[in-house]
Structure 1
Amino acid sequence: MSGDATTYNNTGSDTFRSGFVCFVGRPNTGKSTLTNALVGEKIAITSNRPQTTRHTIRGIVNRPDAQLILVDTPGLHRPRTLLGQRLNDLVRDTYSEVDAIGICIPADEAIGPGDRWIVDQVTRMAPKTTLFGIVTKIDRVTPDRVAKQLLALSALLGGEREVVPVSATSGQQLEVLTDVLVGLMETGPAFYPDGELTDEPEQVLMAEFIREAALEGVRDELPHSLAVVIEEVIPREGRPENQAPMVDVHAILYVERDSQKGIIIGKKGARLKEVGIAARGQIERLLGMRVYLELHVKVAKDWQRDPKQLRKMGF
């Protein structure tokens, strides 16, 4: 999965390994949280709401002996809208382009029909790609429960495939998982400069941070209907020399109905203000400078089903 990546010199060792890894699973199985934990910095948004991830985001793990490119994808699901279909297409396109695919199953949920459907989809779409299993969220259950889930996932995937338990939240087994991933890769060059953590454009990450803040604590129907578009990013001019640089960010939050607009804005704008404060902190850490964030909420009726509006929002 080379994409626009360029190869870079490594230490010169013929044992240096590199490659692309995709985590797949039902929505809300901890894929994005795991990506962030392995990279060591937040590059993918997380939420307890299904279908939080809407883009493939590459996170880069750099080690002296290897470079792993983790491709975080939307959760594979049975789609009900044009957006859902496009997200599934995005996931499927990734299957055949990566070197290994990790099936993520939470330790605290029994393997069900949805998980079996995903494994069937993966094995049919990418029969030659290395498949392995990850039992996520092991900090939530007892060791005995983890052991049973490992056996269940191993049986689902076939006994010859690697299965690793991990907790992205507590950090348990992260090094073990990284070692396993490196072992699955072929020898090869680094694709990104040492120290780079993602190739995602800053404006996409900014929009994602705003959407994450807006999803916090909202009703079940809203996550699917919310999209964020960055309209402008303008360096603040005329600041005194003794003051740090500042940038103005203007963003629009799109929803599908007027009632959803009210949810986002809140009473007298209180909720939108909270969203702005939370998102601004994330964006300032991303950019390394002060940010003035201006948010507007607009209604784009049924945008998830409208091809023209989907293109406008980057899907």
Structure 2
Amino acid sequence: MNDQADDLATEAFVAHRNLLFTVAYEMLGSAADAEDVLQETWLRWVKVDLDQVGDQRAYLVRITTRQALNRLRTMQRRKEAYVGSWLPEPVLTAPDVAEDVELAESVSMAMMLVLETLSPTERAVFVLREVFDLGHDEIAAAVGKTAVAVRQIAHRARRHVDARRPRETVAPSVVRAALESFRHALETGNPQGLLDVLAPEVVLVSDGGGIKQAALRPVAGADKVTRFMLGGVGKNRRRITVAPAVVNGSPALLVRLDGEIDGVMAIRVEDARITGLYYVRNPEKLSHVASRTPLTLR
């Protein structure tokens, strides 16, 4: 590739980089692996004859999807050997992401966990069709299936996700209010305050990766979650600060220990009460909450 072609390839890649990262991240649930996929995409992109490419965005998405599918299949083995519960890697996002309802829902912790229940191909098809609105022919080229097969996979994946996704979209202001009540109760060590904001059926999933202390299995029920939180974060509140942030497009909490990021708490809210708590403490998953990660559907 000559210098001019190299410049054109770089320009196209940079123009679509945020989109490609979002595609890879939604497919993988790991920002670190998504970055690796983008590097692999770049290495393949610079070898492409751009004169033969009609739609650079579609071509780049196709490369990214194929690399993410390869990575997703190898990640399955890592997850099988993972210590305790596995949660998606959280990313710090700009506040305006929360105002983009479609984007915010697609990268929320709750939705990312639903996507974990799909097969690699189902996840790729669902993400490309339902989130990025790609045509069946484009998706077929990306996943190596026929358009007819893609339609069938998309239908099956949509039905699977619809049965498990949050029942309704909750306004960011409602989520922020629930989160603020939760934060205040946690910082003051107020068990009744936690019980007031937690739904009776709330489930806490914590991810320490075998490196940091976490519950090896989900904790269910408001009483048990309250005891867990006040026995962990709450009892160390003199050393720990809990601050609001926007993570994965939704209001969340950054937990710092002596000024250093110790964990991220994301929540799922229904009927103004917290029904899901996702607490990521694995330090290997916290590199993308120190600065904002740009996400986009376009």
With the shorter chain as reference, the TM-score category is under 0.3
**Please, what TM-score do these two structures have when normalized by structure 2?**
0.26
Higher strand share: 1
Name whichever structure is richer in helix by fraction: 2
Q: Higher relative contact order at CA 8 Å, sep ≥6: structure 1 or structure 2?
A: 2
